A and B are shown apart, each in its own frame.
Chain A
Amino acid sequence: MYKLWSTIVKDIRVMLRDKVGLVLMFLMPIVLAIVIASVQNSTFELVNDNKIPVLLLNKDTAEPAQQLEIALGKGGSFEIHKISGTTNEESLRGRINTKDALVAIVIPEDYSKNVLQKAATITAEALKEITDAKETSANKMDTVLPVQIFYHPVLQQAFRSSIDGMLQSALQFIQTKYIVRDVYHAINEEYIPTALEEQIIQNQTPVREVAVSKNEGRQLPNATQHNIPAWTLFAMFFIVISLGSSIVREKLNGSFIRLRTLPTHFGIAILSKQITYVLVTQLQAAVIFSIGILAFPLMGLPALNLPADIFALAMVTFVCGWCAAGFALCIGIFSNTQEQANGAGAVSVVLLAAIGGLLVPSFVMPPSFQLIMKFSPLHWCLEAYYNLFLEGGKLGDTWSNMIPLLVITVLFQIFAFYGLKRKNLI
């Protein structure tokens, strides 16, 4: 036991004197978690809480076009900056190119005419059986000019889809309004009362978002709940830089050779490294979770809510840490130089994170990747964490992720043993 204790003390001392390794293991993931959570949080707020600034060029002066302007403004999602109707499209493109605004909506000159024509056509079609309505000019629809959205190429697809959806909703609202007016007028031969029109048009069915969680919690997931577990795992696996290069250093400087001439089993050295670095991963998780709970609110970010089942969190964190240590051990044993260990370690962690769903959510990945991701330990780690942090699961709910993770961890141990044998170290 004294030999193991001395080896752990030695490994901790060596690790504490590797300043770059410490920065990579602790500072980098904290910075990443803060930056990514801040960026995602502001994106979330931009889409959900803030209004999107939009330039509006209305070339149509008739009532429906004015109504569309009001509908867009009332929609709550746009901050309309109306520009003169005499502005041409070239000038509008210029303003977008200079990033004066990232989006512009152009209502064509014939928009109102088209809305009224369509309303008349539909009314005539709908009531032809019960009225003497004859074929009117409305039946002959003119070519409909589109409402155009100009956007800067930096605007991401998700934003464009969101703007497009809101615009479609406003257009539908206006069109429905005029159809209702025409139908009412055709039946009653008088204009529809405003209150009735409001009642018909306005949607009375509210929408409520409910996060489906295992503990019936009603808390909506936020950027912190998503990012803290993900970047904690990234940090855990980034011990590969410190542990991998420490193993290579000991192989190259002859320390391992000397150890093999001493009357102690070499397995103690490997066990000690795993114990030391599993402890490091637990410390990383504790530090990053604490920052999420205590420091994030001070930075204007949502606070991290720990899962109700703290024992399950500890167990999952331990298995994830052990898996990360096993992975780093393999990289260190199979690398011949520190450059190899650092390069292969960093690149493989980023790749495993990418296919594991840390960088892009796994559910949006193509079907071919849905199978590949199952080979990434980070996928199972992340799923187990999300089970606890987002779904409110308990230890029993994590087994479907923990069992594959344990299998991968054992495989890493077997590879490490094989590598040590092949390199004549045990």
Chain B
Amino acid sequence: MIEYKENKEIIAKRIAKIFKSGEVVNLGIGLPTLVANHVPHDVSIILQSENGLIGLGPAPAPGKEDKDLTNAGAAPVTILPGGAFFDSAMSFAIIRGGHVDYTVLGVLEVDQEGNLANYKIPGKMVPGMGGAMDLTTGSRVVIAATTHLEKNGSSKLKRRCSLPLTAAHEVNYVVTDVGFFEIAGGRFHLREYFAPYSIEWILEHTDADIVVDENCKEIKL
């Protein structure tokens, strides 16, 4: 009997292994931001922030914050040597124009058709889509980062999203704290599962159609 325990660090660790040096990556606010902490030291990616920079660096030391230098969540950040600033039209030309390799974003729901919902719960909470619709439309690869289960134990992976969509048929990978899924042909394909979870546990706790990849393997993170 495996008891589910939410683990965002595992999700960030696994996603951080996807990138190669030189690739341009946009990390959404919240869970996706953690990914930056786990990128291997010999891999040098270029972080894009939709409020107008490439070459996003770590948070500044206390007292070194610059009111004119923030990320898309209004947190103070730094810029690395070789980085650049630009206006919002240029920022979204980069995003929509296919010049971002990966976008990593959090979800309320993600389904086996590659649909993703994360900007609106009608009647309850409407934060707005911000840059998420452009990022999911324009990026080469869209990675949904999410805990596998809701607090109430229900599956975040669905057959069909019930909330208004942020992206229609745009998600390529879903990385949760129990496994790595690729979306293809209207199904989740389980490629890796993370100890201590098992394939059986995942099939039992996911409210969607899953194909277990023939090379599916256990990964320790």
Q: Do A and B bind each other?
A: no
Instruction: Give residues in A with beta carbon < 8 Å to B.
Output: none
Instruction: Give residues in B with beta carbon < 8 Å to A.
Output: none
